[in-house]
């Protein structure tokens, strides 16, 4: 099996799909890997480093793509890229299948088998392959650092001869992977941290990090089998907004991370809530790319609302590309290694396996994901 790793072409993207350490790991398994010349350059990985790890380096991207049995990417490809792949080959990448119908249709028409990295099941065995979680972890860290850099005051309490500076108040909404890392990072920087989630089960996790869990009575809530929050009713959302408004008004930094898998992110912070904050405060919307949690936020932009800076996150993991690449590469490498058939010298698409059954969304020109079928039927 010829595995090809092309350069990322997404505007501004500095992450890379595979790092030399992962190449070396897969090469020892017998994988034949070819990388496009300059693929690792955005992270400082040289072509020589890939060759030393066991990969071939090619200047002929189009020719290698046409011959490849499998292609490993990070950002979703263009339809033209998919059309250039040979039928029966395997594409492993982020694919945004719930929002990019044209790309999904192109993959199906091209008879390219597709493993969607967003669809890795959230199970114990699949944790080492879970790219969404690894990148969300970094996004939570970057969110706090970006907010701290923009905030008009320091985060920790400081006792000086000139007086005592109070710690900044940070409010994290949504306690998933990104939210937990944001809590931990803000605490390490000395802030006073509060957090809220619709899932009461995470209260203990919040407290274990030294933060206060904000309790709001929403009635019956819960989470899916994959650990995602269940979508709230309209009445629950209004009750949540009313209670959160009081905390937001007292906060110096608000970071929102609330997302519903496969759907548009819910708006949970209104413009009026932002306007209630002290001028110089900062709001970071980590869900900006999927619709946004904050009214008025824009992906990749900073919006001033009554003196409050609202930052719409766009590829926050890409701001720390070396570590983001190492983590994504490990996720992809673990996936390939888990399904590697030594005798065949190829990735085995065993759909009896729970992990493969969840992430292999297209095979032999057919959409096989029931979740995507339901989402398409609902439109």
Sheet strands (E) in 151-295: 158-160, 163-165, 169-173, 192-196, 212-213, 253-256, 282-285
**Residue 245 burial class via C-beta count within 10 angstroms: exposed 0-12, middle 13-18, buried 19 and up:** middle
Percent of the chain whose predicted confidence (pLDDT) is above 70: 96
Is 228 an annotated catalytic residue? yes
Is 237 an annotated catalytic residue? no
Residue 227 has pLDDT above 70, yes or no: no
Q: Which residues of 14-45 are buried (b: 16+ CB within 10 A; e: fewer)?
A: bbbbbbbebbbbbeeeebbbbbbeebbebbeb
Please provide the CATH number assigned to the domain covering 136-319.
Answer: 3.40.50.720
From 14, 188, 223, 228, active-site residue: 228
What was the pLDDT predicted at 277? 98
d(CA 314, CA 285) in angstroms, rounded, equals 9
Per-domain boundaries in the chain: 2-119+321-365, 136-319
Tokens of 205: 């996790």
CATH of 2-119+321-365, one of 3.40.50.300, 3.40.50.720, 3.40.50.620, 2.40.50.100: 3.40.50.720
Tokens of 124: 């114990």
The CB density around residue 10, as the number of other CB atoms within 10 Å, is 16
From 93, 133, 135, 297, active-site residue: 133
pLDDT tens digits, one per residue of 329-345: 999 999 999 999 999 99
From 122, 239, 263, 376, active-site residue: 122
pLDDT band at 229, cuts 50/70/90? Answer: low
Nearest to 287 by CA among 306, 263, 308: 263
What was the pLDDT predicted at 166? 96
pLDDT tens digits, one per residue of 258-268: 988 888 999 99
Is 133 an annotated catalytic residue? yes
Contact predicate 147/282, CB 8 Å: yes
d(CA 266, CA 63) in angstroms, rounded, equals 44
Is 298 an annotated catalytic residue? no
pLDDT tens digits, one per residue of 16-34: 999 999 999 999 999 999 9
d(CA 187, CA 379) in angstroms, rounded, equals 42
Same fold, 2-119+321-365 and 136-319: yes
Contact predicate 107/366, CB 8 Å: no
Using CA atoms, how far residue 224 sits from 195, 199, 201, in Å, is 20, 10, 12
Is 122 an annotated catalytic residue? yes
pLDDT tens digits, one per residue of 113-141: 999 999 999 999 999 999 999 999 999 99
Backbone torsions φ then ψ of 180, nearest 5 degrees: -65, -40
From 127, 153, 205, 223, active-site residue: 127
């Amino acid at each position: 099996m010829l595995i090809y790793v092309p350069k990322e072409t997404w505007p501004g993207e500095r992450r890379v799909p595979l790092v030399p350490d992962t190449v070396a790991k897969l090469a020892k398994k017998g994988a034949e890997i070819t990388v496009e010349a300059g693929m690792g350059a955005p992270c400082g990985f040289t072509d020589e480093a890939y060759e030393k790890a066991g990969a071939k380096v090619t200047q002929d991207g189009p020719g290698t793509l046409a011959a490849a049995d499998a292609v490993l990417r990070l950002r979703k490809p263009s339809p033209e890229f998919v059309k250039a792949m040979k039928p029966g080959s395997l594409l492993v990448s982020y694919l945004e299948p719930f929002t990019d119908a044209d790309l999904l249709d192109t993959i199906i028409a091209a008879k390219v088998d597709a493993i969607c990295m967003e669809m890795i099941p959230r199970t114990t065995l699949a944790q080492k392959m879970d790219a969404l979680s690894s990148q969300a972890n970094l996004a939570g860290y970057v969110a706090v650092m970006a907010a701290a850099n923009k905030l008009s005051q320091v985060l920790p309490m400081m006792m000086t001869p000139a007086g005592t500076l109070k710690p900044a108040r940070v409010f994290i909404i949504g306690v998933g992977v990104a939210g937990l890392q944001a809590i931990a990072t803000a605490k390490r920087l000395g802030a006073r941290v509060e957090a809220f989630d619709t899932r009461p089960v995470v209260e203990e996790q919040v407290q274990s990090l030294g933060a206060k869990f904000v309790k709001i009575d929403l009635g019956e809530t819960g989470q899916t089998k994959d650990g995602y929050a269940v979508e709230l009713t309209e009445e629950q959302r209004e009750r949540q907004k009313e209670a959160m408004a009081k905390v937001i008004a007292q906060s110096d930094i608000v970071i929102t991370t609330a997302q519903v898998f496969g759907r548009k992110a819910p708006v949970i912070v209104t413009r009026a809530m932002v306007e209630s904050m002290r001028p110089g405060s900062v709001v970071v919307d980590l869900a900006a790319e999927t619709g946004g949690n904050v009214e008025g936020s824009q992906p990749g932009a900073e919006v001033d609302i009554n003196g409050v800076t609202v930052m719409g996150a766009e590829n926050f993991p890409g701001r720390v590309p070396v570590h983001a690449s190492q983590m994504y590469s490990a996720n992809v490498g673990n996936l390939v290694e888990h399904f590697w058939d030594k005798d065949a010298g190829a990735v085995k698409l065993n759909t009896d396996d729970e992990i493969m059954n969840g992430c292999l969304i297209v095979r032999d020109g057919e959409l096989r994901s029931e979740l995507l079928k339901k989402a398409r039927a609902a439109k």
